[in-house]
Chains A and B, each alone.
Chain A
């Protein structure tokens, strides 16, 4: 009971201070804006996907209606692939700003098609978007510092310290209760807009609760750090400005220096080909095929597709099956580089997870992106979904092309649909 009466007393006392109410209102407004901006962005992405799905279907139907063979149908027909935002993506847009979330692909070599698209807005990706995860991981510590740094020093500077500690039955509880009330209020104004956003977005209870838990953990970390620092002997001799400077230095170190240093260190530690290299290798392989004897293409193709060894006859100088075979060979030649790229990206991600233990803001951002399925793993999963879907297109077209089946629009209605490969 004493605990609750202490909380009530400090809450009544603190909320009579206009500047505290002002700070909390500002945090509430920022949280509201970040959630609204995340919801708008995800709404835009979802409606873009829905709009493109319809346009994609209409466009493909128009293209296919003009075709007379499966080879040209595969060549001219585009297929929309997409990564639908999760219901929590509004809170942590994460890698959706860096990796593409939609591609229109054809039956041509796939690796180049994956890597030829860049992020929609590289400048924005560089700066980082103002989403709820950014607010929680980067700005939240500043608000905790702002509210708690002068917990004791302001009382000393005002000449109330001795009176307070000689009046309070347990002085330790006084500071802890004040810190608790301020931190809990901060958590409340941050989380109310998020929870409303989660309800609007129809996010799962478990996912929402886990993000709430991450936010709490981050607030608790900074609260305990500040309470510990302000109660040590050195800080007891410092004024509010000195205490704030020391705490801001810690913030600068864990929010800026450590992430920037680890980023550089990871890039040095893990060598990775870039998307452009993969694109180049695949395109060169495809372009070279035009000038090489057919047998070079067929040998390489049959090494991975022996079931078509009796169907490689070339009745004409140009055969679609040969054309798609060298597209396949182009992918095979780029596959090693592509696999290295994927492995390097995942290795960088694993290293970043470990190094994030040195930086609570970085860890918070990564956990939130992971829960919102907007992390590197999710981006890599989307790439794999594209490959799996493209592979299913090959499985659909190869028998039709190699057996020289008669073109039928009815058969085209059996084209694989990406929705079966997309993971929400």
Chain B
């Protein structure tokens, strides 16, 4: 029985008396890649923010590694790495300086060699390492943020639309990296509206619509989730 790392139990979130998440429940196991799929306004980002502790649920519970986000958010943040949709690090610092700064915020000491190893692993070209990040492309910024997540050595990784705006090669590299991390035991939770991407990378997909989980898809014995069935369910919801 695999360990439950991320658990949502009857999560309800309201903004200005409007229900954004309604009785959302799911579990993500150790080493699993879980994708929460949904259209605009479905509640994906709110679910993610609830686990990051920036949005508080009105009822229900969200926990990571058996720690409740409402009570132990500081302890949770030491175990979690977050990759935002649009990675904007500090433009006046280089890639290496940004990583050093954010690691220092997380109170993690890392040698320059380890940082360089991580940048090699995410395939960021070496001549960019010491350049100011204001000159980086979106894909390059994404790679720095992934390197940061790797160096944090966090057992749980939260990804917000991770492949949005990346070129096909970068998406392939990214998917391979996530698969490797999951194989090494990292639990990955991602929110996306990219049906194809989610099917390629995730072990399980939760379909979110109007604040409710309306479907759950699994890989089973296959190497990836059947894109057709997920797409049909997703389109049917979006056409309503």
Which residues of chain B have a CB within 8 Å of any CB of chain A?
49, 52-54, 74, 77-78, 80, 82, 84, 86-90, 92-93, 97, 101-102, 104-107, 145, 152, 158
Q: Find B101's partner among A9, A17, A158, A170 (CB 8 Å cutoff).
A: A9
Pairwise interchain contact A160-B49, C-beta atoms closer than 8 A: no
Pairwise interchain contact A13-B101, C-beta atoms closer than 8 A: yes
Shortest CB–CB separation between residue A420 and chain B, in angstroms? 63
With A159-B84, A164-B105 as contacts: A169 and B54 at CB distance below 8 Å: no
Which residues of chain A have a CB within 8 Å of any CB of chain B?
2, 5, 9, 13, 16-18, 158-160, 162-170, 174
Residues of A within 8 A of B90 (CB): 13, 160
Residue of A nearest to B86 (CB): A159
Pairwise interchain contact A9-B104, C-beta atoms closer than 8 A: yes
Pairwise interchain contact A162-B74, C-beta atoms closer than 8 A: no
Pairwise interchain contact B52-A16, C-beta atoms closer than 8 A: no
Residues of A within 8 A of B77 (CB): 165-169
* Whole-angstrom CA separation of A88 from B158 in the bound complex: 59
Residues of A within 8 A of B97 (CB): 16
Shortest CB–CB separation between residue A167 and chain B, in angstroms? 5
Residues of A within 8 A of B92 (CB): 16-18
Q: Find A162's partner among B49, B78, B89, B102 (CB 8 Å cutoff).
A: B49
Residues of A within 8 A of B86 (CB): 159
* Whole-angstrom CA separation of A386 from B86 in the bound complex: 74
Q: Find A166's partner among B82, B87, B89, B93 (CB 8 Å cutoff).
A: B82
Pairwise interchain contact A163-B84, C-beta atoms closer than 8 A: yes
Residue of B nearest to A13 (CB): B101
With A2-B107, A9-B101, A9-B104 as contacts: A169 and B78 at CB distance below 8 Å: yes
Residues of A within 8 A of B102 (CB): 163, 167
With A17-B92, A167-B82, A169-B74 as contacts: A162 and B105 at CB distance below 8 Å: no
Q: Find B106's partner among A13, A158, A167 (CB 8 Å cutoff).
A: A167
Residues of B within 8 A of A5 (CB): 104
Residues of A within 8 A of B104 (CB): 5, 9
Residue of B nearest to A2 (CB): B107
* Whole-angstrom CA separation of A174 from B107 in the bound complex: 12
Residue of A nearest to B54 (CB): A162
* Whole-angstrom CA separation of A328 from B101 in the bound complex: 78
Residues of A within 8 A of B49 (CB): 162
Shortest CB–CB separation between residue A6 and chain B, in angstroms? 8
Pairwise interchain contact A169-B105, C-beta atoms closer than 8 A: yes
Residue of B nearest to A161 (CB): B54
* Whole-angstrom CA separation of A167 from B145 in the bound complex: 12
Residue of B nearest to A173 (CB): B105
* Whole-angstrom CA separation of A169 from B106 in the bound complex: 5
Q: Find A165's partner among B54, B89, B107, B145 (CB 8 Å cutoff).
A: B54
Pairwise interchain contact B88-A168, C-beta atoms closer than 8 A: no
Extra 15 A-B pairs, beta carbons < 8 Å, given A2-B107, A167-B77: A5-B104, A9-B101, A9-B104, A9-B105, A159-B87, A160-B88, A165-B54, A166-B52, A166-B53, A166-B54, A166-B80, A166-B82, A168-B77, A169-B105, A169-B107
Shortest CB–CB separation between residue A182 and chain B, in angstroms? 16
Shortest CB–CB separation between residue A410 and chain B, in angstroms? 80
Shortest CB–CB separation between residue A390 and chain B, in angstroms? 67
Pairwise interchain contact B88-A158, C-beta atoms closer than 8 A: yes
Q: Find B105's partner among A16, A17, A159, A174 (CB 8 Å cutoff).
A: A174
Pairwise interchain contact A162-B52, C-beta atoms closer than 8 A: yes
With A16-B93, A166-B52, A169-B106 as contacts: A159 and B82 at CB distance below 8 Å: no
